[in-house]
Structures are given as C-alpha cells and as structure tokens.
A and B are shown apart, each in its own frame.
Chain A
Amino acid sequence: MSPNFQSMDPAVQALHPIAEEICYPTAFERAAELKPCPIGSTGVCCRMCAMGPCRLVGKTDRGVCGATRATVVARNYTRMVAAGAAAHSDHGRDLARTLIETARGEAKSYRIRDVQKLYEVAEFMEVPTKGRSIEEIALEVGQKALAEFGQQEGELMYLRRAPKKRQEIWRKTGIAPRGIDREVVEALHRTHEGVDMDAENILKHALRCSLADGWGGSMMATDISDILFGTPVPLNTYHNLGVLKEDEVNLIIHGHEPTLSEMVVAVAQMPEMQEYARSKGAKGINLAGMCCTALEVLARHGVPSAGNFLSQEIAVLTGAVDAMVVDVQCIMEALVPVSQRFHTLLITTSPKAKMTGALHIEFDEEHALDIAKEIVKRAVDNFPNRKAEVVIPKFVSPAVGGFSHEYLQYMQGGLHRGSFRPLNDAIIAGRIRGAAGVVGCNNARVPQDEGIMKVIRTLIANDVLVVTTGCVAHASGKYGYLLPEMMRDAGKGLREVCEAIGIPPVLNLGSCVDNSRILTVLSQMATEGGLGQDIGDMPVVGFAPEWMSEKAISIGTYFAASGVHTFFGVNNIISGSPEVVEILSKKWDEMVGGTMEFITDYDEMIQAALAHIDRKRAELGLVPWDPERYGQSGGDELMEKILSLPPEQRYLYSRKVVEERVAEQV
C-alpha cells in the first residue's frame, strides 16, 4: 500500500490497490503530491485585487493597499462563509421553487407527501390554512419561503424558531439577517477591496451571513424537503461500498439535492424498469447514495449509502458502478478521468454544475419523471458494458437512519407525551454529560474517518450524546455506530438513556442542510426548560473534525452565532492572524456565546469540548458529571435467560436465586 494512502475505511483500503494497479492517482495520492499552500492555509493570502496577490508572511504585515493580516484573514474567512451560505441557500431556493411548481401543478411528478408538516410550517409562517386546499397553502408557503431570499428589510422568519433569549442576542448585536441573498451579497461587498477594514466588523457580518444559512436557506431546505418527500422516521439501512451488487445495475446518486434522487428512487422501483434491467442480464436495479443526496434518500427510503466524500472515486474502482448521477456540491472533478478508466457512466444533471467529459442530462422539475427514467435507462444500458473484473468489498454495516427533529420529540414520549423532557432530564441528572453535533466532511489531508471516529468514540464513552449529519453520518454508519447495539460502547449513563428509548448513541439526522434540524432540536431543548433559557446556556458543542468545504465554515459559524462552541480540525485557516483567532474564540463568546476554534490535535479538541461542557454544567448549577453514578437500568439479557429456564425454575422473587439458576443451566 502506498505510504501516502490515508483511510481507516476497510472498503477503501481493500479497493485502493486497484488504483495503484492501474496507476490512477486518487485524492489520497494527489493530496500527498500537492502540498497545501502554506500561506493560503493560514489565511494571509489576499487576492482580492490585481495589486496582489499579497502574501502577508514574515515581516510583511500589510498588503499593497495597507490591509492588515487581521483584515485579510477576516475577509477570506467571511468569503468562505458567504460561499457556503450561498450553496446551502441555493439548495433551499430550488426546493422552494419546486414546492411552488408542485402546488401549481407544473411539476407533475411531485406531490405534497407530508400534509401534516405543511400545516405546521404554514402555521409557523402565518399562512392561513382554514378552508384552503393543500395546493393553495403549499403555494403560499413556497412563495413566502422564496421571498426570504430577496427580502431587504426586517428579519428572516425562521429566527422566531430560536429561543427568545437567542433572538434578543441577535437583535442586540445587530446580526439578525434581513434577507438571505442580501447577506451573501453584502458579505462579498464588504470583503471587496477597500471596503470593510475592521476585522471584528467584517467577522460580525460573517455571523450574520451564516445565520441566513442555518436559520434561512438550510432550515427552509429541510422543511420543504420534508413537506415534499416526507418527514423521516427511523428505518434500517446499510453503509459502505459492500452495498453495491455484482449482479444488479448499480446506480449511484451523488450530490446534495433530493429533487432528482427522489424521482430516481421512484423510477428504479418501477416494474417496467426492473424488467428492462433483467432484459439486459441484470437481476435488478440497485440504488446507492453518496454524500448528502444519499442521506436524503436514506432517511426517507432506506436507500443504502455507498460512502462519503473520499469514497467517491474509490466506488468507481469496483468496476461495478454502471452509472453515477450527480447534481451539485462535493463532486470531485476527478470522477471524469476515473470513470473513463472504467465503464462507469458519469451523468451531470444540474444546469449549475456541468463537468467537461461527463454526459449531461439536464434536470428540470417539470419533466422530472421522464428525465429520471432516461437516467435509469442509461444506467441499465451500461450494465452489459462492464469490462474490468468487478471487485466489491464485503464491507457493509447495517445501520438505523431517518431521525428528524419531529421524531426525536416523538421518541421521547410518543404521540401524546412527546417532548424533550427526558433528554433534558438526563442532562440535568448527569446521565448524559452533554450533547455534541459532529458534522462536516472528509478531508484528504487527514486519514479518512479517523478523526471523526476518534471524536465520536471518545464522546459517547464520556456520556456525550452525538447527533450527526453529512459525511460524518456516513462514517458513523460505516463503523456500526448508528446501531442501537453500539450503546455498549457508551458511558453508563448514556447507555441507560439509549436503552430506554431504543436508540443508537449516535443519531443520523440527515444531510448537511439538516444541520438546521440540530438548531431546531437545540431550540426545543432550551425551551423545554431546566437547561437555561438559551442554546448558549446548554452543555452542547459542535465538531467538524475532518472539514474541508466552505459550507462547513458557514455551518460552524452559524453554530457559533447560535451560541455553540464549535471545534474544527485539519488546519487552522485563521492562524495567520492572532487577532482573528482572538475574535473567533473570545470576542464571539462574549458577543453571542459561541466560538469557532481550529484545533488540529483531536485529543486536544475533545478535551477542550468536554471542558466546555463541564463548564456549562457548572454554570447551570447541574451536578458534576460522574461516570460511575448511573448504569443500574436494564436487565433484558437476564430476562431472556430466565425465559429459557423451565417454568418451575423461574423464581422471580429473587435476582440472586434466579441468576444462580441461570448460571447452573449454562
């Protein structure tokens, strides 16, 4: 194995030699080959105008225009936030448009699947529902959602979903976003040459812009996806490349938006398509997902996940991927050359995202079903073209996915008593030390999944409940951590809670836009009571151990702006300016109660997070966490053993006696 290869994924490890064999350098090799720019990676490279690029290193502490390091780092950071917010929000915008087209009957293949959620969102948006048809309501909800993008004054309506105290903080500090597009545009304006030159002021806008993502575009994307495609409830699924099938047409749906993939799922199940696949010698059509698209269809249909970001090229190496259809975001351009080495048909679909060398079948909502059929048909047609030997590693992990914030509430009390009381109680009592959102990407600069899993294992062992999205959700699934059985790796207190509800210690909340679900959950926990009045009062933390995209920076920033201390790994992209480091880790804490910290050492990162959790516990006056205090729940195993005893031996008035009898039986 090449010394540069870095992944703990056994499937990736198994397949990587094929890349070596065919002399194809994957992202792992390219990363080793291409060192990161040492100047850009600390944030001090300014290329905002043609007088530069200015590299503010060594004794150079100002650019040609006089910009300081702090200004440059702040500008670069803020532009990342803007780009990330733009990506998530554009996703939200497309869904709002799909909802409108569906309501108007233009997007004929779509319908409102979750009427209950439509009513809830309509009520929240103050859209009248009485005496109106579902379509009328959906139309107005879609229009109101869409109007959020162009809104120029006032506040985004989703801010009202936050605890009152949080809303006041945003208003007081002047970072309540006015309109989604406006904040992105203003971020670009402010960071243009010669505009905002006060790091703190620039970064304040980064907070505002990020909120337009988390409490704007992303939240809207989640809500509307639920309305159109159904609010997820837990279901069984599988993770990792072993989900590909040798004798079926393998179609990987990769990217981020659910609009097309939902149609592909529907089409692939059609008997005519299955029949067509059989006519080409395949036993059927096997769909598998990648990145966030995967998580959208996994949560709603149980479509298995083939892997996360760094697995995309590797999947093609199996020789079993008959087509890979992509839409937007996190798609490696390297898919073109690697798919050319195999028979894999790479299909782009978004007018926003074409790839030179890939087949483009443009998607539009009006003809969604026909386009999906065309895509599936192409995949089937390609099945007989498999040339190389098919190598599908056996690695596959079962998992439970499909957690939504609605279900989180339901699972803690059922239809009538659902609330966040049990979770809050568990935190108050110290059964659960705190909660963490572990999210974000893979990054070829660090071994795939290693940091993610280190963080997750340590957290759950320390009684920290983990919620996850995006590539971290895939990683958790690959190593079995999305299974309820994994509660055995959790601390004693957390295990009791998992056992009471029947959940894994790590909950898959969906795609990256579904990080908005975490915001909703945190708001509900704060409102439930007992943990202060605000997200910032609670013992919760955020992690992106292996982040790489600008979207991740936007997510981290909106978590900070919402009162969460957030920890990012891999590389400190603001290290070029101690002043900016100070702003993100101290001033933001004073301002909004949240921080963004880049800590490359995983242990250090985990310790900092646990210390923060303990500090918040102390501030709330909660009992200090004690790993040995709890754990007396349970006894399922004993009961099952008792049932295997002959009835007259089942003496239930004494645990001691019955345990002895069970032991004798064995």
Chain B
Amino acid sequence: MSRYIATRALRGANMVVREADQMLKQAIAELGPDAKVEFTNTAYFLPVIYGFTGRQVTKLADLGPVLEEAKKLLHPVPKDKHYLPYLGETLDAGVASLLAMEAIEGIRFARGEEPMPFNWGSKGLVGGSFTSPEFEGAGGADGRLNGPIDDIQLRAWGIQLVDGRMPGFAAIVGCAKSNEVAVEIVRQLQQRNILVFLSGNVNGRSIIHQLHEEGVEMGYDTYIVPFGLDTMSAIYALGFATRSALTFGGMKGGQAREILLYNKYRVFAFVLALGEIDDLKYAAAAGAISYGFPTIADTVIPQILPTGITSYEHVISMPFDDIEGENDLERAKRLVQRAIEVRGVKIKITEVPIPVPYGSAFEGERVRRADMRIEFGGKNSRCFEYLRMRNMDEIEDHKIVVDGPGFEDVEEGGSMDMGILVEVAGRKMQEDFEPVLERQIHYFINGASGVQHIGQRDITWIRISKAAAQKGFNLKHLGEILYARFHADFGAIVDKVQVTIITDPKKVAEMLEVARQAYDYRNRRLADLTDEAVDTFYSCTLCQSFAPNHVCVVTPERLGLCGAYNWLDCKASYEINPTGPNQPIPKGTCLDPVKGYFTGPNEFVKQYSHGTVEQVALYSIMENPMTACGCFECIMMVIPEANGVMIVSREDPSMTPAGMTFSTLAGMAGGGLQTPGVMGIGKYYITSKKFISADGGLKRVVWMSSILKQQMREELQKAAEREGVPDLLDKIADETICTDVDGLLPWLEEKGHPALMMDPIF
C-alpha cells in the first residue's frame, strides 16, 4: 500500500459500506425484509459474501448481518503524520467494500434493476445466453448488460481455465484514453485468450460505451463480458473468482483464506484500471489484492512494488502517454503485456501468419449470413476435413497447396465446395492419433477472427466474413493456421505438416470418398476399443491445478467427465508430454468386472487423490463412484423413489426431480469428493456399454435434460436398442414433462419405464 492509496481506499470503503447500509434500509422499507435476493442462474447465493462469511443470502433481511460484519472490517484513514500501519487495515476495508458492493448489487437485483439496462442499438451484443434467459438476445434499446456470469458459462469455461487455454481474466474498470485504445486493449487480451470483464466508468463514460461504439462484439462467445457501467458491477469479477474456488477447488463458504489463496495461486487475474481512479475503485482494488489480483493503472498513481499478497507487484502505474511506442496502439499493446507480466500469466502465443487477429477468444465468434463473404458446406455446398498420417518421405513440411480456384470470383454471400486434407508425419505419430488431431481442426480454424467453423468430418461448415476477406484472408491462410498450430500444439508427435485445400469440385468428390472410407474404418476401430481389449487406462489430472484431489480415470468406454478427453486423446497427450497430466494406468488385476474395480486404478487414484479416495468403481454410481472436478458436462443423481437415475446437462438451468438445479447439484458432485449416488460425467458416457453397467445401465435413466435428448438422439437411440428397450427414449422424462418426483412417478408408470421393474437400486 501507499499511504495515499490506503487513504483513498479506506475512504471509499467507509463510503460504500454506508451507502449499502442506507440502500438496504430503504429497500427493506419498500420491499419488505423477505424480498428475494439472488443473482440469476448462479450458484452459491451472493458468492463473495458466501465465500467470506459463509452466509447464505436469499432475502434482503439476510444482508443486515453481512453489513454488520463489513463494518467491523472498516478502519479510519491514516493520519498525515506519525500514522499507524495501514496495509492490513486497508485490505480488510477492501474486503468490507466487496461485501458492501455485492450487497448493493443484491439489492438492485431485488429491485429488478440488475443487470443494468443498456441501449444496444442495432449492434454489439452477441452470443446469446446472457445471465437471464428472459434477456437472451435482447439487444436494441431495451437491452441489458450482462450482470454476473451464469453458472453454465462458468463451468463451460472450466476446462479451458484449467488446461491453460484460457489463462485467466482481466477485470477492466473505467474508460480507455480513446475508443481506438479500448479496442486494441481488448483485442490484445482476446488474442491471448484472456477473459475480459468490463465495468465502471470515468465521468459517466465506460469502456463498454467505447467498445459498443466501435462495433466490438461483446458476450460470452467473444470472451468479453460487459458487467455494468458502474464500479459496483466489478464485484461480479470477484464473484466469478470466488465461485471458481467453490466450484473447482472444493472449498466451502466461509473458508475465506483458502478461497483467496486458491485464487492467488490458480486464477490468473488482474485489474486494469483505465482512466482516473476514484475512492471506490481504490477500495475495490484493495479487495482484489486480497485475492492476489494486482492492479495496473494507465494513469499516474503511486506504485506498490513489493510482493507478497499478490505473487508479483501489487500496484503498477503506467501513465499511458509515457509508455514507449510509436502510437497509441503500440502503447496499448505494451500496457497489456506489462499487465500480463505482473500477474505472472504464462502465455504461449502461436504466431499465425494471417491478416486477421488470431486466438481462442475468437473461437466463439459467429459469422452471420449478412456479414458473410463466403461459406463452405452447409445447405448449398459440400465441405469436409480429413487428416491422415503419411511416411516422412511422402510429404513436404509447410507445403500448402490450394488445389482449385480461390473464392475471389464467387459472388458475395455465395458458397463453394471445399476439402481440407491435412497430412502429417512424425516418428511418434500413430494411426490412432489421426482422429485426435483431426478434431483439432475445428478449434484451430475457429481461432481466426472472422472465420467460423462448425461440425467435423464430412459435415464441416466454414464461413469467412466480409471483414476478414477485406483484410486479405484467403484459402491459403487456412493452411497456414493448420500448419502453425499443429506444429505448436503437437510438435512432439508431428514433424511434418502438409495441407491441401481442395476446391476443384471433381477432386473434392474424389477425396471425399477416400475420407469417408477412413471415417468408416475409424468408427469400426473405435467400436472395437473396449475396456477389456486394452491393458492400460489413462489418468487425467489436468484439473488438479484447480481441484487438487480429483483424478479422472479414462477408459476406452468411459471418457473424461469434461467430455474433452477420451482414451485416445489421453494416449496422444501422453505421447506428447510423457510427464503431463495424462499418465498410463496399468489395469492390473481385475477385482470385480461388474462394478469395475481394478488394482491399477485403485492404487493410482489413492496416490494421486492424496489419500482422499481409497478406491474407485468405474462402472457404478452407487459404490465408490469416480470423483469430479467441476467441469462435468452432466450430473447424474439417483432418484430413489423412481429406482433410477436422472441426468442433468450443464446447459439446462431448470429444476430437476432431485429438487436441485444443476448449479446446486454441482456443489455436491464436484471438488474431488466421492458422494455415492451423485456423479459428474461426460455426456458421451451415457451411450457407453459401461454406463453404470453395475447398476443396470441406460435402463436406469428415468429423467434427462431435453437438450441431451436432442443433441444425442441418434446415439441414444442406438444405445437403447443395444440395451433391448428400443423405445426407452420416449419413456425417459425431461424438464418439459416434470421437474419434481411427484410429476415423475406417474409419468414413469404411465409409460411403463423399465427402471420400475428392476432390482432395487439400493
């Protein structure tokens, strides 16, 4: 701290706690003490308050004791002379400010004032699912800002946060020096896949206004989340941080120190304070420091360079004009670079030589038909992608050929056929890795700003935007992307990469035939891959950076619960990085083929869960089920009354027959603890032969989020047939049918669901 900063932060803290107190009194007077307080679609109540105090705020009256606790954390401002130490006091006051800020946002929610209204006009809001479904897609004059990040999104980002694809978040507060600078700062962060949270203003003008004016797409899909126009909304960034610890770290409410240290060591976040900093911003920044998040300002403020509460410097001042650089864009770039250094974020940027920005943050960008220059695949054309292994002497590294015409002559908004043939060679390359690598094409191509990739294999669908085409993006660049990324990400197994972009319709058709034979072969090979057919499973401890005691055991018939790692992926990952998070687990002796006990996994899990888990039954939810980190695609839970299980998707915010929503259930399923009857899974495990086979398999499923039924109808149907109940899908209820047990049981009986006739699950 510096005394100046301490003084201003303490002043801000005293002010905001007082303000919250007054707002609460008024709100209780107007709405009554029982008025509901909740952040829509988020778990953990008001998360910062819950994290620090363990208090579960659900109504206005609950906020009273919270503010009393906040008051105890306040201190007077230091004197001018002979002052007493201020660091601990200021950090406490910072925490008090956070409690008060969250209380204020809670009160605003109770009043229906949050998320903050915003006039989106005709542009700017993308990516749909903002906090409240009722606001979804609501652009225009009656739009809203995002407010807190919803739980589905938090979990969806979970795996990226843990595997490092998403290094952390930048909480930007205030307003950049110019619109141009605002855009550049955000683009720089996007290119590094850093989540960008926006809040606050300077004299009424916010970076949200700046980006909106410049037509920057904001929303979950572009990693830019506009929280609100005032400093209060910056609390959502710390709510996100707290929820990360609760969700993935297995912490409980009230474990303040643990939650803060979790963030210091595992969540790479920082505050970027743009423009003049007022008392409240200083107070909020002091609160952020307790999380280990430093503040970098683009104005003249005192610097606090010694380390300790944060891993590196606490407060950095980089007056914008003083930053070395040819122009403001370069200065913006340097500012972001410095911010990243200060937080110690390790970022590997792959330089991709293409004329548009590149990074995972652009993966979610959509190219609307109106903005589209050309598309490949979809309704009007064919597109496929195929990756195959070749011998080292059969291909030439970095040979990128466009076989056929470019899209220059196609009319705007038109379409054409395309095949992407990627040929790789490497000493450690195996045929088994072909599909693993091929699946990466989707992510790699999507990283280019203005290029959209959907689907895979022969249902690939690629769009290139007008903006990208104007900047000179052409088909050869697709090859450049693939070449650069395969070398960067899979250099350990790939020595040579050759890419052929085929647009000649005849050649597309020819190569498509070859590709389809390969797809077919792989399908059959995959079907042959059973748990019995291999002698090695793989571990996945990728999430231990977030959930320190969790171990996934990935088998050919049970993929990782995040859905991102199947057995082949793990095998490839082990080849790429032999000391990495995916280690071979020899099966050892099979102790129980039905429940799925093996000596190898048991020993491994015991060791790597640091003794929290003694043994694991791979095929059961009832006995020693596999633990979960927090990134699961689905949660399943036993419904005793129905003698079966329900499965809720993380994309489903509705109530379930378990009496809990996904968010609430997640608290029981995550954190690396075994809870019999509850399990987090990857959705494709549902169609596996080994799906809770010890407990009766797919026939036990009595309720399932409708989105799963839609997404996997075909696979589920096949599995149902395999299980001997071809009409099973129609007998499984979903949230459109019932959301409680009382509704579920009559439905099951009416449909004659097989679970009712099975042996008792207990």
Contacts and interface: CB of A to CB of B under 8 A. Distances in A.
B64 to A, nearest CB: 21
Interface stretch (A44-52, A187-195, A632-640): A632-640
A639 B300 CA distance: 8
A411 B85 contact: yes
A653 B298 contact: yes
Interface in A404-428: 407, 410-419, 421-426
Given A416-B256, A636-B3, A657-B321, A496 B85 contact: no
A410 B302 CA distance: 23
B2 A633 contact: yes
A379 interface: no
A417 B260 contact: yes
B4 A640 contact: yes
A292 interface: no
Interface string A637-662: 01110100000000011111110000
Nearest to A422: B308
25 contacts: A236-B82, A236-B84, A400-B82, A407-B85, A407-B88, A412-B87, A412-B309, A414-B87, A417-B260, A421-B309, A425-B306, A429-B306, A484-B85, A501-B86, A502-B1, A630-B305, A633-B305, A635-B300, A636-B2, A636-B4, A652-B275, A653-B320, A654-B300, A654-B319, A654-B322
B303 interface: yes
A220 interface: no
B301 interface: yes
Interface string A484-524: 11000000000011011111000000000000000000000
B276 interface: yes
B317 interface: yes
Nearest to B7: A636
Interface string B513-546: 0000000000000000000000000000000000
A411 B89 CA distance: 7
B319 A484 contact: no
B95 interface: yes
Contacts of B3: 499, 502, 636
A418 B4 CA distance: 21
Contacts of A484: 82-83, 85
Contact of A639 (B4, B86, B261, B275): B4
Which of B85, B91, B92, B177 gathers the greatest number of chain A CB atoms within 10 Å?
Answer: B85
A632 B318 CA distance: 12
A406 to B, nearest CB: 11
A644 to B, nearest CB: 13
Interface of A: 234-236, 398-400, 407, 410-419, 421-426, 429, 431, 483-485, 496-497, 499-503, 630, 632-636, 638-640, 642, 652-658
Which of B94, B260, B303, B320 gathers the greatest number of chain A CB atoms within 10 Å?
Answer: B303
Given A429-B307, A652-B276, A503 B85 contact: yes
Interface string B169-181: 0000000010000
Nearest to A409: B88
Contact of A635 (B260, B301, B306): B301
A652 B300 contact: yes
Contact of A431 (B88, B306, B317): B306
A425 B308 contact: yes
B321 to A, nearest CB: 4
B89 A414 contact: yes
Contacts of B320: 653-654
A654 B302 contact: no
Given A501-B86, A653-B320, 7 more contacts: A416-B91, A417-B91, A417-B309, A421-B308, A502-B86, A630-B305, A633-B2
Contacts of B27: none
Contacts of B90: 414
B300 A638 contact: yes
B52 interface: yes
B77 to A, nearest CB: 11
Which of A414, A418, A652 gathers the greatest number of chain B CB atoms within 10 Å?
Answer: A414
Q: Which 9 A-B pairs have the closest CB atoms?
A: A422-B308, A414-B91, A652-B299, A654-B321, A635-B302, A502-B86, A502-B85, A636-B4, A414-B88
B290 interface: yes
Contacts, number: 167
Q: Interface residue tally of chain B, by bracket?
A: 35 or more
B379 interface: no
Contacts of A658: 300
Interface of B: 1-4, 6, 52, 73, 78, 81-92, 94-95, 177, 256-257, 260-261, 275-276, 290, 298-309, 314, 317, 319-322
Which of B6, B81, B260, B307 gathers the greatest number of chain A CB atoms within 10 Å?
Answer: B307
A236 B256 CA distance: 31
A300 to B, nearest CB: 15
A655 B91 contact: no
B81 A502 contact: no
A423 B308 contact: yes
B290 A416 contact: yes
Which of A484, A652, A657 gathers the greatest number of chain B CB atoms within 10 Å?
Answer: A652
Given A503-B85, A652-B300, A422 B322 contact: no
A413 B95 CA distance: 11
Contact of A414 (B78, B82, B95): B95
Contact of B88 (A418, A426, A639, A652): A418
A91 to B, nearest CB: 28
B394 to A, nearest CB: 51
Which of B4, B256, B257, B300 gathers the greatest number of chain A CB atoms within 10 Å?
Answer: B300
Nearest to A652: B299
Nearest to A238: B82
Contacts of B82: 236, 398-400, 483-485
Nearest to A640: B4
A634 B307 contact: no
A416 B95 contact: yes
B52 to A, nearest CB: 7
Given A413-B308, A417-B290, A653-B319, A636 B302 contact: yes
Contacts of A655: 300, 317, 319, 322
A426 B4 CA distance: 21
A484 B83 CA distance: 7
A652 B276 CA distance: 7
Contact of A425 (B78, B81, B307): B307
Contact of B303 (A411, A423, A633): A633
B6 A502 contact: yes
Contact of B302 (A424, A503, A634): A634
Contacts of B95: 414-416
Nearest to B72: A415
Contacts of B86: 501-502
B88 A415 contact: yes
A201 to B, nearest CB: 44
A501 B87 contact: yes
B379 to A, nearest CB: 52
B87 A411 contact: yes
B88 A412 contact: yes
B275 to A, nearest CB: 8
Nearest to A656: B322
B21 to A, nearest CB: 20
Which of B4, B290, B305 gathers the greatest number of chain A CB atoms within 10 Å?
Answer: B305
A486 B335 CA distance: 34
Given A417-B309, A426-B308, A654-B319, A634 B83 contact: no
B78 A632 contact: no
Contacts of A235: 84
Contacts of A485: 81-82
B613 to A, nearest CB: 28
Contacts of A638: 300, 302
Which of A234, A411, A635 gathers the greatest number of chain B CB atoms within 10 Å?
Answer: A635
Contacts of B6: 502
A633 B256 CA distance: 29
Contacts of A422: 306-309
Given A423-B308, A639-B301, A652-B300, A400 B88 contact: no
